[in-house]
Amino acid sequence: MYLLDTNALSELVKKRPHPGFIQRLRRHPADAFFTSCICVMELRQGASGRVDTESFWGRIVRDVVTRFSILGFGTKEAIVAGDLLAHLAKRGEVIGLEDVLIGSTALVRDFTVVTANVRHFQRIPDLRVENWIPSRT
């Protein structure tokens, strides 16, 4: 099972999504993909910063949010996130709070995170991370 990070979801609203990313999505059944309510928050934040907020948000809802099961953030995820934050702080490897929340959601469910932000997510012990969005050159 896969948890799509915000940048993976964002790829789906681009005019020209990376073809390799789309191919990877098509290799799996639709019910293998999930996202986090934290990613929905990040998408909304991005849309809210645009002049065309409501029309762009409408595209995100239609093309992204309604296509994947959205995982909530509860007590189990909060406990794992608290432990991760402490662990990363001790090692001097602090990453964004949102990434910790998304990572803890994937850990609790034993999912693989699909992201282009491998550098941050790889700091989370035992988290499986894959980048399906290679750099465009």
Q: Is the pLDDT of residue 35 over 50?
A: yes
Please, which pLDDT band fits residue 134 given cuts at 50, 70 and 90?
confident
Helix (H) or strand (E) holding 33: strand 33-36
Q: Is the pLDDT of residue 114 over 60?
A: yes
CATH code for the domain defined by 2-130: 3.40.50.1010
Please give the structure tokens belonging to residue 121: 């997510």
- Which residues lie across from 113 on neighbouring strands? 3, 129
- Cα(29)–Cα(61) distance, integer angstroms: 20
pTM: 0.94
String of DSSP letters for 56-83: HHHHHHHHTGGGSEEE---HHHHHHHHH
Mean pLDDT of the chain: 95
Per-residue pLDDT tens digits for 62-84: 999 999 999 999 999 999 999 99
Burial of 16 (0-12, 13-18, 19+ CB in 10 A): exposed
